Structure 1
Amino acid sequence: MPSLRPAIDGARLRKTLDGINAFGHNPQTGGYNRQGFSDADMAVRRWFEEEARTDGFKVRRDAAANVFVRYGPAEGPCVMSGSHLDTVPEGGAFDGALGVAVAWEALRAMRDAGITPAIAVEAVATAEEEGRFGGMLGSQAITGKVTRQWIDQATDATGETLAAAMRAQGLDPYAVLDAARPAGTIKAFVELHIEQGPVLEAGGTPIGIAHSVSGVSYIAARMEGRANHSGTTPMDMRADAFRGLADVAADIPSLIETIGTDQSRITIGKVDLEPNFPHTIPGIAEFTIIIRDTDESIMQALTDAVRASIESAARRHGLGHTVETKSWLAPVALDGRLEKLLGEEAKALGLAAQSMPSGAGHDAQTMQSLCPSALVFVPSRNGISHAPEEWTDWADIEKGAQLVLNALVRLSCETN
């Protein structure tokens, strides 16, 4: 281990995060719009590459638009840290972006302290983590989990295909199939992320260390009835698509109670009604359902139950229906040895740390299939995320950043 202990430069870290968030900001709402493969998303990647290259680091981008910044030996394996730069529509300033900024700051802090790691350290800004097209394309590309079939069928909520969105940015979607990193080239992956929940803040705990990540089942459903006049059509003679949707929504609490656990989540997140006019009975309801749990068997049971609920509601209201599974990300247990190492480093810093599951999906769960992976949380004010009100206090950010830095030094400088 090196005798020098590098320190996070909080002002420099803040400047990096502010630089990232100069892209895609909506001053009217306060939100950020860097959806995967949008113009703003690609622009922030170019900015990040240029900033790191100007600062003297080796920079590389792969076919999936993942950006890698490397410090240490030019050849051989690496220890990797980072997160994503893309956002949900009108997202917050910290989700993903903070993990990228912290990873790059860790590299600069190591260099400033004169530490030459035995194993290279790479900061990564992954692509399309927020699931615009139904997966976590960047980390799935790194781990070799992308298939041609998935590329061919992946679409966003508006119907735009992944292939079209990538080609619009000058990218070859099928080149992603060759972006996988070989086994053994990444020794460990450490991701810092805001918690996106209320647990750490409620407990006054500055650090969370995830032991597992919930899986995600993403369903797209359509119910089709008959659009008709709202005043002249009797209630018992309607084929109201919204009533079918409402019945499915009303079933959710009982499904959780009878099948689920305290880690189960079912969310109807996007709804489109047609013709969507005040005086017309809805003829079509299209909606998404996201199902999460840390136990894959429970997640599967809930998915099956939701499909049965849709079928039952459609039959009850005389509706046609289709249900499509857009993506399936299995729950993952993260690496226990990395969790222990992070706990030791937190203790050395005098930081209380809570072992906890992650209810949200993150790149770490995908990376675990390729290398030992860990996920560090810092508190979210009021548990809010995916919204302009998302906030993490700067004192908590610096604690989490220092923990990640210390862990990366230990992982990259130990030779045994």
Structure 2
Amino acid sequence: MALTIDIERLKQDFFELSEIGKNPEDRGLYRTAFSEADMQGREWLREKLDACGLQVRTDGAANVFGRLPCEEDSAKTILVGSHLDTVPCAGALDGSLGVLVALECLRTLKDEEAAESYARHLELVAFSDEEGRFGGMFGSQAVVGAVTPETLEYYSDLEGCTLAEAMTRCGMNPLDALDARLGPETIDSYLELHIEQGPVLDRLKKSVGIVENITGLFKWLIKIRGTANHAGTTPMEMREDAFMGLADFAHEIPRILEENGAESSRATIGRAQILPGAPNTVPGLVELTIDVRDTSKAVLEDLGQAFHRALSAIARRRKLMFDYEIQSVIEPTQCHEEIIDVLEAEAKELELDYLKMPSGAAHDAQIMAQLTRIGMIFVPSREGKSHSPAEWTAWSDIEAGANLALRALDRMARSTEK
């Protein structure tokens, strides 16, 4: 009989976890990293892992692990999971579904006593602060050894609470996060199931996506400086209007993407502030953010240069000045061909209608690629909605994705290739 997950058991886990941090007024989840609800969710997961007989531990970065060991102690480990934290007013699937599917897969394989024939350990991981209350990807960065003491003190949330302060309030020693690093010689690979968070699979009516690559990105904080002046007495041709610099720059984005980008390129001005912000004053300063993404490092570099040239030309033409701060850079990541091949072979065995596709969002898998081979499975997001209580995926698609993960883990764990 073919391996299959218990969808009713998975549903029960989902409904239990989705009550932790739920706001009854807007029905959104509020499990931001290192909040009380986040800690409750992690404790719920530890209890579930313990109840099904997996080896449970939590590291110094608040990552939760549940291990299904094979008989060879020195064997490498296949990690599978995602994250439990959410953005404010979130849906119940982003991140959490990947952890719940990992739990169900390991529970199913334990029930089947499959690990007795495995050449790899299997281990669930639920990473902390993927969503970015303190910058994002904290748990996976700790696992790959990218966290420093400065990280703990420098990153803060919108209220000014530092990461170290939040961890201390949770009864943790922040410096313990520096010991969360795993050795690359111990890890075989990492697999993550996630909702797509976009409309492609839903519109094409595909059951699952097999991710080939994950977008890279850079984020800039741009300041365009002009001269604040009276709106009634300053002639139009004599103005140094910072807002007009923003307007010109925003209109340049489609041209730059067409000339310097690719099909997967994205650029977004997500926030802008006009100062001094008075109705009767010509703006003297505009602060804005731009988020630029593509799956090619070379394309990202071309886009960065093109945006810089556009800002320079606009500043000269409008008699303005500008500067920018690089807030974050994430390199594009390729999923491993061998894992893609396993996922594709198992999808065909299951007769799933699948699509090989890129990921336009960043994920913990992207960080884990610094440590090991990675693979990702997408399931459709209805109408492409995510980071919202309206986020949803049909149970039939969840079951399809979970069974694909189950079959892939079983096949990868049996492999004797070094």
1:87 equivalenced with 2:98 (yes/no):
no
Of residues 206-215 and 40-49 in structure 1, the stretch that sits farther from structure 2 once superposed is 40-49
SS of 1:354's partner is strand
Q: Which amino acid aligns with 1:110?
A: L
Cα deviation 1:282-310 (Å, max 9, x = unaligned)? 55433322111111011122123334444
Determine if contact 1:135/1:327 at 8 Å carries over to the other structure.
no
SS of 1:116's partner is helix
Paired residues for 1:66-145 under 5 Å: 66-73=63-70, 75-76=73-74, 77-117=76-116, 118=118, 119-145=120-146
CA distance in 1, matches of 2:13, 2:272: 36
Of residues 15-24 and 119-128 in structure 1, the stretch that sits farther from structure 2 once superposed is 15-24
CA distance in 2, matches of 1:239, 1:173: 47
Cα deviation 1:152-194 (Å, max 9, x = unaligned)? 5434456554344434434444432321100121212111011
Of residues 30-39 and 371-380 in structure 1, the stretch that sits farther from structure 2 once superposed is 30-39
Of residues 342-351 and 240-249 in structure 1, the stretch that sits farther from structure 2 once superposed is 240-249
CA distance in 1, matches of 2:224, 2:92: 36
Give the direction of change, closer, same or farther, for the CA distance of 1:286–1:184 in structure 2 (3 Å limit): same
CA distance in 2, matches of 1:158, 1:311: 34
Match of 2:222 in 1: 221
Aligned counterpart for 1:47 among listed residues 32, 44, 48: 44
Give the direction of change, closer, same or farther, for the CA distance of 1:59–1:225 in structure 2 (3 Å limit): farther
SS of 2:114's partner is coil
Paired residues for 1:285-304 under 5 Å: 285-304=286-305
Give the direction of change, closer, same or farther, for the CA distance of 1:252–1:72 in structure 2 (3 Å limit): same
Q: Which amino acid aligns with 1:98?
A: L
Cα offset for 1:122? 1.0
Match of 1:370 in 2: 371
Of residues 214-223 and 309-318 in structure 1, the stretch that sits farther from structure 2 once superposed is 309-318
CA distance in 2, matches of 1:137, 1:195: 21
Paired residues for 1:168-183 under 5 Å: 168-183=169-184
Match of 2:198 in 1: 197
Give the direction of change, closer, same or farther, for the CA distance of 1:375–1:227 in structure 2 (3 Å limit): same
Match of 2:328 in 1: 327
1:250 equivalenced with 2:217 (yes/no):
no
Give the direction of change, closer, same or farther, for the CA distance of 1:253–1:80 in structure 2 (3 Å limit): same
CA distance in 1, matches of 2:154, 2:312: 24
Cα deviation 1:294-345 (Å, max 9, x = unaligned)? 1101112212333444454455555554411122110011110011011111
1:59 equivalenced with 2:60 (yes/no):
no
Using structure 1 for the length normalisation, give the TM-score: 0.89
Q: Which amino acid aligns with 1:95?
A: D
CA distance in 2, matches of 1:230, 1:241: 13
Cα offset for 1:90? 2.6
Determine if contact 1:13/1:105 at 8 Å carries over to the other structure.
yes
Cα offset for 1:247? 2.7
Determine if contact 1:208/1:376 at 8 Å carries over to the other structure.
yes
SS of 2:346's partner is helix
Cα offset for 1:108? 1.1
Cα offset for 1:219? 1.8
Of residues 43-52 and 64-73 in structure 1, the stretch that sits farther from structure 2 once superposed is 43-52
SS of 1:184's partner is helix
CA distance in 1, matches of 2:258, 2:78: 42
Match of 1:339 in 2: 340
Please give the root-mean-square deviation of Cα atoms over the aligned residues, in Å: 2.6
SS of 1:69's partner is strand
Of residues 128-137 and 159-168 in structure 1, the stretch that sits farther from structure 2 once superposed is 159-168
SS of 1:34's partner is coil
Cα offset for 1:244? 3.0
SS of 2:184's partner is coil
Give the direction of change, closer, same or farther, for the CA distance of 1:40–1:270 in structure 2 (3 Å limit): farther
Cα deviation 1:181-231 (Å, max 9, x = unaligned)? 001212121110111222222222211111111112122233455566656
Aligned counterpart for 1:16 among listed residues 13, 17, 24: 13
1:35 equivalenced with 2:5 (yes/no):
no
Cα offset for 1:266? 0.8
Match of 1:360 in 2: 361
Unaligned runs of 5+ in 1: none
Q: Which amino acid aligns with 1:62?
A: D
Unaligned runs of 5+ in 2: none
Cα offset for 1:401? 0.3
SS of 1:181's partner is coil
SS of 1:347's partner is helix
